[in-house]
Structure 1
Amino acid sequence: MTRISSPMTRRTVRGLALATAALLPAALGLATAPAAMAATSEPAGWARVAHLSPDTKSVDVQLTALAGGAVVYELDDVAYGAVSPYIPLAEGTYVVSMVPSDAADDVQPIVRQSVDVTEGAPLTVAAYGRNADLQTTVFEDDLSAPEEGQARVRVVQASTIEPTVTVDTAEGRPIARDVPTGSATDYAAVPAGSWDLEISGTDEAATSAVDLPAGSVSTLFVLDDAQGSLTAQTITDSATLADMPVGGIHTGGGGTAATPVGPIGIAGAVAAALAGFATIGALHRRGVKADA
């Protein structure tokens, strides 16, 4: 880790997700299904999924318990740049698999990654790189609260344009130095507020305006834009972790269409969505090429 100086068919579940999504207020302006709900009533840890491969089209994601092989969660139509909500899970080993959206039910996954969920430990499972050399990694997330008046932020470098990136504030405050592709930095404590960030590689550079509220924990994902340049988006991690223990980080919504396998209450799903649902598919809407 770079230190500062990731018996239902999929088609049936997709139909349920779309039907439930129709209940969300049109004012959200999001083509999404409900935010994530607990895969277990007594979660020990959490995992989320990030689609960071610029030329891989939207994927459907399954989380399968290694013990018994039961599918415990599905995410539908996860587009490039999208980061799911944290999914509360019982302690154990799970397999995360991704297949192209609308693929046949028996198609082989393009991604398969095992992940160990332990008590109190949120994780991010990320697929990154070009489709011809797609890779996965698991980032350990630290959502402990910063000191009063502070925010905590880290960088995940997923751009395929630059092998390493450096992130500074416009005022010259260093955030991260020479972060290699496929890695995450440690979290840096910064004064809370709005910041203009400068992201640079060897040949490319970009700017990104971010808001880091007091007490928040965020991840800055460095990505490719539709023109083949650097871009970035910030996810407030501490607002996407559901079902924290009493006294923990406040709950909120996440990023992609999500449907748990098994019976759920529609009202509960809508309530979870309204609690803070957000889609991070801006790059997809801008026309990122998807040739996979």
Structure 2
Amino acid sequence: MKPTTYRINRFILHIGLIALGIITVFPFIWMLLSSFKPNSEIVSANPSLLPHVWTLENYLSISDKFNFFRLFGNSLFLALIITALVIYTSLLGGYVFAKYSFRGRGTLFAVVLSTMMITWAVVIIPRYTMFESAGLRGSYLSIILPAAFSGFGIFMMRQSISTIPNELLEAARIDGASESLIFHRIIVPLSANSISALAIFQFLWVWEDYLWPYLMITDQDKQVLSVGLTTFSGQYSTDYGGLFAATSISIIPVLLVYVIFQSRFVAGASSAAVKG
């Protein structure tokens, strides 16, 4: 390909990506700017992107609508706990499938992968019945236990750990390192990129989950933020300003997690596609 043609194609690609990025980000920008508008301006027949009248009332009155900060803390607690559990169990499962040979390993790994193909609608009723019978409805255990293991996480970690040389692990065993020491001092640090990628995915999935917490949590003080946001929708009207303000604040943890792990995100996501 000629240098001129290459530069033209590269320029067109960049313009296309920039346009796609603007289209993707625009709804969030519109929501953020609308959170500073009074409701009368949001529902106006002639809306504008920038507020005609800037106001902080939507943010200042969030706690008047519902216990925002309590629900925000509940969601943050569950997201952090579940993300940490999924990372650890996925590392353990990935390590076993990648570095240990035992009878039925391929079949068992296929079973793990099959869990990724089962739709949520198929298991929601049996799962609800099981936790209801166990008396766990209303407890955070009903949220944490089903999410503590991830077929996607195990697959991702297995692919990443498969790239770690077996000679490195054998050298550690010869030096007298225990399997626990090898896992925590060698496998975990060398899987940092994949851990970062999985942390972003899992935190986002837990943070935005709505239906399962809605079904399981019966105490409003223990409810999560995604469910609490429905408080702004009344029978005859919706407090759009308050809803946009609360949603804007709820995005902050997701952005922070991405900013913290983004340097390793691309490398981690790419390593999951490497065949061991």
Give the structure-1-normalised TM-score: 0.25
| Higher relative contact order, structure no. (Cα contacts within 8 Å, ≥ 6 residues apart) | 2
> Greater strand percent: which structure?
1
Give the structure-2-normalised TM-score: 0.26
Which of the pair has more CA radius of gyration?
Answer: 2
> Greater helix percent: which structure?
2
